[in-house]
Amino acid sequence: MNYANIKNWEEYQHYRDRCPPWIKLHVKILNDKDFTALSCANRGLLIQLWILASENEGKAPINIEEIKFRLRDNSIKEKDVNLLIDKGFLLDCKQTQADASKRYSETETETETETETDIRFEKFWQAYPKKKSKGQAEKAWLKIKSNEQLLEKILSTIERATTSVEWTRDGGQFIPYPATWLNAKGWEDEYGKQGDGAVDDNLFLQALAEQDKKRGIS
């Protein structure tokens, strides 16, 4: 057996066709008794094998010479790999392809959704001129259930708004907080260019209220 399946591989699944491949780790692994019972060296070896497995649909090499070469570490011993097999972290590759494919597909969908949402939010955050209360903005972002088409509309609206009379007034102090703007669906509003007098009263008043609140005015 030259390769072994990773135990609970679906928890560490990576995107299909991503370059370079990657895995995700969870903080709960620190509470895994089997994992914490390993030496620090063996924990490190296991994590590196997970990374190698990301290149091969969840199958890690167990040939000691191949492992040494891939990890650039000649100190790794065959007993270290055998320990991971004995402890159940590396499994025999007898699992059916159908089961593996089913888990892979289900995990990929979940992971892509979570990660693509994070990526879209970061693009919004970088574009939005007032970077305040990021945590609240993230919550508001999740509520709008964004997709690529909506992201493009949001970014194009922000680009227009940054030169508008509403957002340039008094040095930009009346730009709404990101969460406020998202909750109000600010991307659906129209913004006037400087000098044309068009102002969105609703967002303007919300921004004004935020400024008053910061100054302690009720």
Alpha carbons within 13 A on the beta-carbon side of 191: 23
Go through 88-123 and write b for each residue having 16 or more CB atoms within 10 A of its CB, e for each that does not. Answer: ebbbeeeeeeeebeebbeebbeebeeeeebeebbee
Q: What is the mean pLDDT of residues 123-136?
A: 92
> What is the band of 32 on the pLDDT scale with cuts at 50, 70, 90?
confident
User: pLDDT of 54-92, one tens digit each?
Assistant: 888 778 888 999 999 999 999 999 999 999 999 998 887
pLDDT score of 194: 58
pLDDT score of 190: 85
Residue 109 has pLDDT above 50, yes or no: no
What's the CA gap between 132 and 182, in Å, rounded?
Answer: 13
C-alpha pair distances (Å), 201 with each of 8, 38, 115, 128, 205: 54, 62, 35, 20, 6
What beta strand segments (E) does the chain contain?
3-6, 59-61, 90-91
- Let me know: does 63 contact 55? Beta carbons within 8 Å: no
pTM: 0.42
pLDDT score of 18: 56
pLDDT score of 72: 93
> What is the band of 23 on the pLDDT scale with cuts at 50, 70, 90?
confident
Burial class (CB in 10 A: 0-12, 13-18, 19+), 81: buried
User: pLDDT of 133-188, one tens digit each?
Assistant: 999 999 999 998 888 899 999 999 999 999 888 898 888 888 999 999 999 999 99
CA-closest candidate to residue 158, choices 127, 189, 122 = 127
The residue ranking higher by pLDDT, 144 or 7, is 144
Domain ranges of the chain: 3-95, 130-214
pLDDT score of 203: 63
Query: What is the separation of C-alpha 46 from the centre of its chain, rounded to a whole number of angstroms?
Result: 23
What's the CA gap between 72 and 62, in Å, rounded?
Answer: 15
Cα 60–Cα 45–Cα 5 angle in degrees, nearest 5: 25
What's the CA gap between 56 and 20, in Å, rounded?
Answer: 12
DSSP state of 164: B
Residue 211 has pLDDT above 90, yes or no: no
